[in-house]
Amino acid sequence: MAGERHRRHCGGGDVDRRRDPAVGVKTLVRKPPADERRLDVLGRMPRLRRVVMSRSFQPVSMLLLLAPFALAIVAGLLGTSAGNRNFGIVFVWIVWWAVLMVLMVPGFGRIWCTICPIPAPGEWIQRRGIIGGGGKLRTLGLRWPRRLRNMWIQNVGFLILALFSMIILTRPTVSAGVILGLAGVAVSMSLLFENRVFCKYVCPIGGFIGLYSMAAPIELRVRDTQVCVDHRSKDCITGNERGYGCPWMVYPGKLDRNLDCGFCTECLKTCTMDNVVINLRRPGADLAKPGGGKQIDEAYKALIMLACSIIYPAVLFGPWATVRGWASVESLWGWAIYATAFLSATLLFVPGVFWLTVFAAQRRSATGVTIRQAYREYAHSLIPLGLAAWMAFSVGFALTNGSYALAAVSDPLGWGWNLFGTSETGWTPYLSGTAPAIQAAILVGGLLFSIRTTLRVGFRHDPSGTTATRAAVPVVAFLLASTLALLWLYLG
Amino acid sequence: MQTSKRPVIARRSVLLLLVLAALLVPVPAFHAPQTHRISIDASQFEYSPGRLTVNRGDTLQVTLTASDVVHGFFLDGYEIDARVEPGISQQFTVSADRSGKFNYRCSVSCGPLHPFMIGELVVGPNEPLWRASAIAVIAAAAMLIGAGTRRSA
Q: What is the ipTM of this complex?
A: 0.91
For position A68, what pLDDT does the model report? 95
A364 touches chain B (CB under 8 A): no
Residues of B in contact with A473 (CB under 8 A): 144
Residues of A in contact with B140 (CB under 8 A): 447-448, 451, 476, 479-480
- Cross-chain Cβ contact A488/B129 below 8 Å: yes
d(CA B35, CA B43): 25
For position B150, what pLDDT does the model report? 64
A348 touches chain B (CB under 8 A): no
Q: What's the gap in Å between the CA of B57 and the closest CA on chain A?
A: 18
d(CA A219, CA A228): 17
d(CA A343, CA A307): 10
Query: Could you give the 3-state DSSP secondary structure of residue A222?
Result: strand
Contacts (Cβ under 8 Å, ≥6 apart) of A65: A115, A116, A117
Q: Are strands A218-222 and A276-281 parallel, antiparallel or unpaired?
A: antiparallel
d(CA B151, CA A3): 38
- With contact defined as beta carbons under 8 Å apart, do B74 and B110 qualify? no
- With contact defined as beta carbons under 8 Å apart, do A443 and A486 qualify? yes
Strand order through the sheet with A38-40: A38-40, A276-281, A218-222
A362-380 burial: b if 16+ Cβ within 10 Å, else e: bebbebebeeebbbbbbbb
For position A294, what pLDDT does the model report? 63
- With contact defined as beta carbons under 8 Å apart, do A412 and A87 qualify? yes
Give, in order, the Cα–Cα distances in Å from A362 to each of A132, B111, B152: 53, 51, 20
Q: What's the gap in Å between the CA of B15 and the closest CA on chain A?
A: 13
Three-state secondary structure readout of A335-381:
HHHHHHHHHHHHHHHHHHHHHHHHHHHHHCCCCCCCHHHHHHHHHHH
d(CA A310, CA A318): 11
Contacts (Cβ under 8 Å, ≥6 apart) of B142: B11, B14, B15, B18
Q: What's the gap in Å between the CA of A179 and the closest CA on chain B?
A: 19
For position B135, what pLDDT does the model report? 94
Residues of A in contact with B136 (CB under 8 A): 443-444, 447, 480, 483-484, 487
Residue A128, sorted as left (phi over 0), alpha (psi -120 to 50) or beta, turns out to be left
For position A109, what pLDDT does the model report? 97
Q: Are strands B71-75 and B80-84 parallel, antiparallel or unpaired?
A: antiparallel
For position B151, what pLDDT does the model report? 60
When mean pLDDT is compared across A83-92, B13-22, B74-83, the lowest value belongs to B13-22
Residues of B in contact with A401 (CB under 8 A): 115
Q: How far apart are the first and last CA of chain B?
A: 14
B1-30 residues touching A, CB cutoff 8 A: none
Report the largest interatomic distance among the alpha carbons of chain A, rounded to a whole angstrom: 74
Burial (Cβ within 10 Å: 0-12, 13-18, ≥19) of residue A294? exposed
For position A14, what pLDDT does the model report? 39
Query: Is the per-residue pLDDT at B8 higher than 90?
Result: no
- Across residues B129-148, what is the average pLDDT? 91
Chain A residue with the nearest C-alpha to that of B81: A428
Query: Is the per-residue pLDDT at B152 higher than 80?
Result: no
A214-243 residues touching B, CB cutoff 8 A: none
Q: What's the gap in Å between the CA of A442 and the closest CA on chain B?
A: 11
When mean pLDDT is compared across A430-434, B16-20, B69-73, B129-133, the lowest value belongs to B16-20
Residue A177, sorted as left (phi over 0), alpha (psi -120 to 50) or beta, turns out to be alpha
Closest to A444 measured CA to CA, from B143, B137, B25: B137
Residue A79, CB half-sphere, CA atoms under 13 Å: how many? 30
Q: Which amino acid is at B106?
A: C
- With contact defined as beta carbons under 8 Å apart, do A187 and A195 qualify? no
Chain A residue with the nearest C-alpha to that of B53: A492
Closest to A455 measured CA to CA, from A471, A442, A477: A471
A415 touches chain B (CB under 8 A): no
The per-residue pLDDT string of chain A (492 residues; one tens digit each, 9 = 90 and over) reads 344 444 444 443 333 444 444 444 444 556 677 777 899 999 999 999 999 999 999 999 999 999 999 999 999 999 999 999 999 999 999 999 999 999 999 999 999 999 999 999 999 999 999 987 788 899 998 999 999 999 999 999 999 999 999 999 999 999 999 999 999 999 999 999 989 999 999 999 999 999 999 999 999 999 999 999 999 999 999 999 999 999 999 999 999 999 999 999 999 999 999 999 999 999 999 998 876 556 899 999 999 999 999 999 999 999 899 999 999 999 999 999 999 999 999 999 999 999 999 999 998 887 888 999 999 999 999 999 999 999 999 999 999 999 999 999 999 999 999 999 999 999 999 999 999 999 999 999 999 999 999 999 999 888 888 888 999 999 999 999 999 999 999 999
For position A1, what pLDDT does the model report? 39
B44 touches chain A (CB under 8 A): no
For position A367, what pLDDT does the model report? 80
A252-291 residues touching B, CB cutoff 8 A: none
Give, in order, the Cα–Cα distances in Å from A452 to each of A248, A335, A396, B73, B146: 30, 39, 26, 42, 11
Closest to A325 measured CA to CA, from B150, B46, B13, B68: B46
- With contact defined as beta carbons under 8 Å apart, do A316 and A326 qualify? no
d(CA A81, CA B153): 65
Closest to A267 measured CA to CA, from A298, A232, A234: A234
Q: Are strands B35-43 and B59-66 parallel, antiparallel or unpaired?
A: parallel
Query: Is the per-residue pLDDT at B149 higher than 80?
Result: no
For position A22, what pLDDT does the model report? 46
- Cross-chain Cβ contact B140/A468 below 8 Å: no
Closest to A31 measured CA to CA, from A15, A20, A19: A15
B100 touches chain A (CB under 8 A): yes
